[in-house]
């Protein structure tokens, strides 16, 4: 099974990606974790990404698409995978479909964890990530609404969108997702 997990900052994407990865026995691909690791190690990708991450901005499409292309080509998982933190724009979503078609794969579902702004802010402030400062959180929520929300329309149009409330406990959210699959 190949899944994309969508949601704003603090929506529970990371938590659900881990849970679903274990439950479904599929690989978890967290672009946020991979980017933070690349920044810490000062890799070429990390250096390109650092300025955007520090400002709470999304990486340009061309950087993310090339990164994900390389990653998916190098890390084919027989059982499938769950992408957390990618795609972030409708263009990236379309490019992901093209890439998967080239490598004879397809996306089963895009799961959107719907969470209101107040909950996203509260959850983000309780984490200890370098990019979880109040003004950066506000910017990330703004960007999420502007750039990521159109992805929902894209996946809705292809009949692959599952919208799940991300506000209950992580156990309840996971059960709801598994029932929807």
87-125 confidence digits (pLDDT tens)? 988 999 999 999 899 888 899 999 999 999 888 888 887
118 is in an annotated binding site: no
15 is in an annotated binding site: yes
Q: How many residues does the chain have?
A: 181
Q: How far is CA 105 from its chain centroid?
A: 19
46 is in an annotated binding site: no
Confidence of residue 171 (pLDDT cuts 50, 70, 90): very high
Does residue 129 have a pLDDT over 70? no
2 is in an annotated binding site: no
pTM of the model: 0.83
Strand order in the sheet with 109-114: 27-30, 81-84, 2-7, 109-114, 161-165
Range of the domain at 107: 2-180
Number of H helices, E strands in the chain: 9, 5
Q: How many domains does the chain contain in total?
A: 1
What tokens does 52 get? 């955007």
CATH number of the domain where residue 117 is located: 3.40.50.300
7 is in an annotated binding site: no
Residue 3 contacts residue 111 (beta carbons within 8 Å): yes
171 is in an annotated binding site: no
105 is in an annotated binding site: no
Q: What percent of the chain has pLDDT over 90?
A: 43
pLDDT score recorded for residue 74 = 72
């Amino acid at each position: 099974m190949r899944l994309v997990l969508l949601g704003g900052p603090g929506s529970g994407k990371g938590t659900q990606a881990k849970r679903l990865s274990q439950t479904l026995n599929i690989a978890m691909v967290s672009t946020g974790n991979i980017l933070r690791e690349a920044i810490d190690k000062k890799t070429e990708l990390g250096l390109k990404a650092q300025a955007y991450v520090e400002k709470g901005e999304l990486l340009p499409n061309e950087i993310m698409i090339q990164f994900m292309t390389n990653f998916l080509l190098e890390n084919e998982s027989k059982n499938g995978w769950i992408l957390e933190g990618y795609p972030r724009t409708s263009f990236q979503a379309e490019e992901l479909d093209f890439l998967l078609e080239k490598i004879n794969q397809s996306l089963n579902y895009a799961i959107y964890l719907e969470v209101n702004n107040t909950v996203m802010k509260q959850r983000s402030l309780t984490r200890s990530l370098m990019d979880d400062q109040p003004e950066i959180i506000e910017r990330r929520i703004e960007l999420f609404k502007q750039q990521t929300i159109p992805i929902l329309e894209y996946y809705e149009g292809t009949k692959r969108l599952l919208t799940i409330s991300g506000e209950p406990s992580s156990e309840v959210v996971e059960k709801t997702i598994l029932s929807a699959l």
